[in-house]
Amino acid sequence: MSMKIMIYHARECDPKKCTALRLGRSGKAKVVFRIEELPRGGILLDPFAEKALSREDAETAKKYGLIAFDCSWKKISQIAKLKKWFRPRSLPYLLAANPTNYGKPTVLSTAEAIAAALIIFGERKLAEDILAGFKWGSVFLELNSEPLEAYRAAKNSSEIIQAQNQFIPQDLK
C-alpha cells in the first residue's frame, strides 16, 4: 500500500455493517479506538473543512497518512476540536451507494469516503481495492464516475470547487 490509511472508530455503529471495521479486518486500513494513535499532520476527511481535498494533498497523505473518522453523523461535529492536530479537507459532492444512504448526497460510508479521496489522489487501483469487499463498491464508482474523474483531473482545491459546481443539482445550490 502506498499510503497509510487510518480510521478512528468511535464504536457508535453496528459492527456487522461497519465499513471501517471491515477495512480493518481485511488489513486495508488501520482502525484505532483512541484519537491519540492517529498520526499528527495527516489529511483528515472532514465534511466541515473549509478547504476541499485535492491532488495537492496527496504527498502529505503519503507522508503522514489519510485519516477518516467513523462516528455517527449526529456526532461528527466533534471533529472541529481536533482540527489543530490534522490537515482537515472536505470531499466534494458525491452520492452514496451504500445500502443505508443510497443516492443521498455527501452522506458517504467510511469506505466510500476513503475510496473517493484515493481516486482524487490518482490512486484508482487502491480505491478499487478498498471497495472490492463491498457488494455495492462498484456501484459507488459507477454512480460517481463523471464527478470522480473531474475531481481527479483538478489540480487544486479551487479547481475541485469549480468542478463540483457542475454536479450539484440546482435545487441544492
Q: Is 91 annotated as a binding residue?
A: yes
The rounded distance, in Å, linking the Cα atoms of 23 and 158 is: 31
Q: Is 110 annotated as a binding residue?
A: yes
SS3 68: strand
Q: Nearest CA to 110 among 40, 15, 39, 37?
A: 15
Cβ atoms of 127 and 48 closer than 8 Å: no
The residues with which 43 forms a beta bridge, in sequence order, are 66, 87
Contacts of 86 (CB under 8 A, 6+ apart): 38, 40, 41, 42, 43, 44, 46, 67
Q: What does the block give as the cell for 10?
A: 468511535
Annotated binding residues, as ranges?
19, 91, 110
Annotated binding residues for S-adenosyl-L-methionine, as ranges?
19, 91, 110
